[in-house]
Structure 1
Amino acid sequence: MPWSPMADPVVLLSEEEVARRVAALAAEIAPKIDDDTVAVCLLTGGLWFASDLTRALSRLGRHVRFDALWLASYGDERASLGRCEVRADLQRPLSGRTALIIDDVIDTGLSLSEASRLVGDAGAAQTFTAVFASKPWPTPRAIVPDFVAWEAPARYLVGYGMDAAGALRGLPYIGALD
């Protein structure tokens, strides 16, 4: 069913629970990286999580560098288009550094897998992947994230970077539209 501006999402994770999970994940990641690590945010959805996660890492004494990759595999659709388009590439040198790829959600794994390949091709010595939400998937994915803040249900998620045709990304909580 298409999203209607009159439909309110069902809240699955409150703003407070999102913050708690980000802080817990930062505590898990911090010992495995250093200040020379480059946090690579996958745009557009990963922006909210990447902002919160890098601030949480900073509070733990890890002051990572920041970069972004803009990959598109959904457009305004609810299902992956089955291909990943690079709309904007990395700007920061990664050669010999650790990279932490950050995204909002893993569905098919296509974007995260492509980002990992691009980061490896850029010369990263080590690559970690972190997603806020991992949705169940019926077949094996091309990549399994190293860090996951929340095992999400098989629902259409919105908020905290996840969208319905570009809308509802800015919700401070995670909701479902189904």
Structure 2
Amino acid sequence: MADPSSDRPAPSVLLDQAGVAAVVEDLAQRIAPHVDDETVAVVLLTGGLWFAADLTRALARQDRHLRFDALWLASYGDGKESKGRIEVRAPLQRSVEGRKVLILDDVFDTGLSLAESVRLVREAGAAEVLTAVFARKPWPLPRAPEPDFVGWEAPNRFLVGYGLDHGGAWRGLPDICTLD
């Protein structure tokens, strides 16, 4: 799996493609009773795109046809550690005023992106805000808000694949992998 022309280490699989699919289906079953066709799913770009696409299709199989939007937030850049602040690169494209919003993100680690996205959609007038993350990593400090729905309890390792990246690479892997 490693690119022989680079110095990047080969990723090792922590959760394979079948495991990823099972997590998404389980989340859809748990989320479906809490959303309706007027709910706006807001994906946090870029990493959350893979998860959001799979989850919204899984919710459609549960007869929940959510509206869709995105926020493009950045805190990591190309590094392995958060910069400790959130940059808003693109805001919501449609109104969420008076609507229920389900924020979707790939991984919950520092909690900065989730907190900022909740703040932004509340400021935009959302009537209710729910949050769902594919993976939650352990964190040594308290963080708020905790996600309403968590798919997988991830180890405290640097993850790639299924939308997670290292410097823009490895996002397209169908598995969740680690580089360490």
Aligned-pair identity in percent equals 66
- Counterpart residue number, 1:108: 110
- Counterpart residue number, 2:158: 156
Candidates 118, 121, 142, aligned match of 1:119: 121
Q: Aligned equivalents of 2:81 and 2:104: distance in 1?
A: 20
Aligned residues: 176
Q: Aligned equivalents of 1:87 and 1:109: distance in 2?
A: 18
Candidates 19, 35, 38, aligned match of 1:36: 38
- Counterpart residue number, 1:131: 133
CA pair 15-5 structure 1, distance change in 2 beyond 3 A:
farther
The answer on 1:49 being equivalent to 2:51 is yes
Secondary structure of 2:24's counterpart equals helix
Q: Deviations over 1:150-175 (max 9, x none)?
A: 00000110000110111001100000
- Counterpart residue number, 2:71: 69
- Counterpart residue number, 2:143: 141
TM-score (norm 2): 0.95
Q: Aligned equivalents of 2:110 and 2:117: distance in 1?
A: 13
Unaligned runs of 5+ in 1: none
Q: Aligned equivalents of 2:123 and 2:61: distance in 1?
A: 31
Deviation at 1:142, TM superposition (A): 2.2
Unaligned runs of 5+ in 2: none
Deviation at 1:42, TM superposition (A): 0.2
What's the Cα RMSD here? 1.2
- Counterpart residue number, 2:61: 59
Deviation at 1:120, TM superposition (A): 0.4
Q: Aligned equivalents of 1:21 and 1:135: distance in 2?
A: 15
Counterpart amino acid of 2:141?
T
Q: Aligned equivalents of 1:135 and 1:30: distance in 2?
A: 24
